[in-house]
């Protein structure tokens, strides 16, 4: 089985003709499924883009959502719409709700959206202000109350996804799987948070990495040395690979606005 991995494709920046051309490139790879690690499109057209993708590709699309998928929207409302769509379209699989998917006898797929949690780097002294806190309603309403309130909301979102991932992985390791592939949007370790060939610094790390998600992944890999864990993520728009443990590898995908690309064809 071959899976086409995509990340941070931001299809809202493309015309219909350009999106159709991108779908053709995916079809040319003749993969059996697609895996997307977030930032598919902004909230107002996310549902239409997901419908469009499955109509063109006609293969299972496993995905998690990224921060941009909630831009110009409310998190709860977007999640409700995505859930409803996936319930109606069996080829669209939002892993945050779908839980564990068995790809082969030996390989399982799990995923959670994930959020930057401000626990890496120096949040209090960082001068970084992302569009997340302007364009995502839930974050904007906390930002106007102060920097600490925004951090609390970021951590609330990240912690909820980490708790869900912990449940999924606890179930997954009970199986006979030899490999578990995990999709998430935000890099889970400092060494996975790449930017233009370097690791992000303390100014940017609070907004581009998720320590709580990384802690969950590391613990499961450490406690299950006979299972290979492969993490696919994006968010930072720069590629890199890190390997915190012998059986734990993290691949961060690259991206550029207006130019979506295929990250890798993964054989399972």
Instruction: Classify residue 181 as left (phi > 0), alpha (psi -120 to 50) or beta.
Output: beta
Specify the pLDDT at position 196: 84
Cα 154 to Cα 21: distance, rounded to the nearest angstrom: 36
- What the chain holds in terms of domains, given with CATH numbers, is 2-267 (3.60.21.10)
Confidence band of 141 (pLDDT split at 50, 70, 90): very high
Percent of the chain with pLDDT over 70: 100
Query: What pLDDT score was predicted for residue 157?
Result: 98
CA 70 to chain centre: 13
C-beta neighbour count of 250 within 10 angstroms: 24
Beta bridge partners of 233: 252
Q: What is the mean pLDDT of residues 82-103?
A: 96
Averaged over 185-208, what is the pLDDT?
Answer: 95
For the full predicted model, state whether its pTM sits above 0.85. Answer: yes
Residue 173 above 90 pLDDT? yes
pLDDT category of residue 82 using cuts at 50, 70 and 90: very high
Confidence of residue 99 (pLDDT cuts 50, 70, 90): confident
pLDDT bin (cut points 50, 70, 90) of residue 101 is very high
Band of the pLDDT at 176, cuts 50, 70, 90?
Answer: confident
Token pair of 245, please? 């443990």
pLDDT at 197: 87
Q: Which residues of 177-206 are buried (b: 16+ CB within 10 A; e: fewer)?
A: bebbbbbbbbbbbbbbbbbeeebbeeebbb
For the segment 226-267, what is each residue's pLDDT rounded down to a tens digit? 999 999 999 999 999 999 999 999 999 999 999 999 999 999
Which burial class, exposed, middle or buried, applies to 239 when counting CB atoms under 10 A from its CB (0-12, 13-18, 19+)? middle
> Over the chain, what is the mean pLDDT?
97
At residue 268, the pLDDT reads 92
């Amino acid at each position: 089985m071959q899976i086409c991995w995509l990340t941070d494709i931001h299809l809202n920046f493309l015309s219909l003709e350009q999106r159709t051309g991108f779908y053709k490139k995916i079809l040319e790879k003749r993969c059996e499924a697609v895996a997307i690690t977030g930032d598919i499109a902004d909230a107002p057209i996310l549902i239409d883009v997901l419908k469009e993708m499955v109509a063109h590709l006609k293969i299972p699309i496993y995905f998690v959502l990224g921060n941009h998928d909630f831009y110009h929207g409310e998190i709860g409302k977007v999640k409700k719409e995505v859930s409803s769509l996936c319930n109606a379209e069996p080829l669209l699989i939002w892993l945050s709700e779908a839980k564990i998917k068995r790809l082969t006898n030996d390989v399982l797929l799990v995923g959670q959206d994930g959020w930057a949690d401000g626990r890496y780097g120096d949040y209090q002294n960082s001068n970084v202000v992302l569009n997340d806190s302007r364009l995502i309603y839930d974050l904007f309403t906390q930002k106007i109350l102060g920097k600490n309130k925004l951090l609390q909301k970021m951590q609330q979102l990240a912690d909820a996804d980490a708790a869900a991932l912990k449940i999924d992985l606890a179930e997954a390791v009970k199986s006979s799987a030899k490999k578990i592939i995990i999709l998430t949007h935000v890099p889970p370790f400092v060494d996975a948070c790449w930017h233009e060939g370097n690791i992000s610094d303390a100014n940017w790390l609070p907004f581009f990495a998720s320590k709580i998600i990384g802690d969950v992944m590391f613990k499961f890999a450490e406690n299950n040395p006979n299972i290979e864990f492969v993490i696919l993520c994006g968010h930072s728009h720069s590629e890199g690979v890190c390997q915190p443990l012998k059986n734990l590898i993290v691949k961060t995908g690259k991206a550029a606005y207006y130019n979506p690309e295929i990250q890798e064809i993964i054989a399972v």
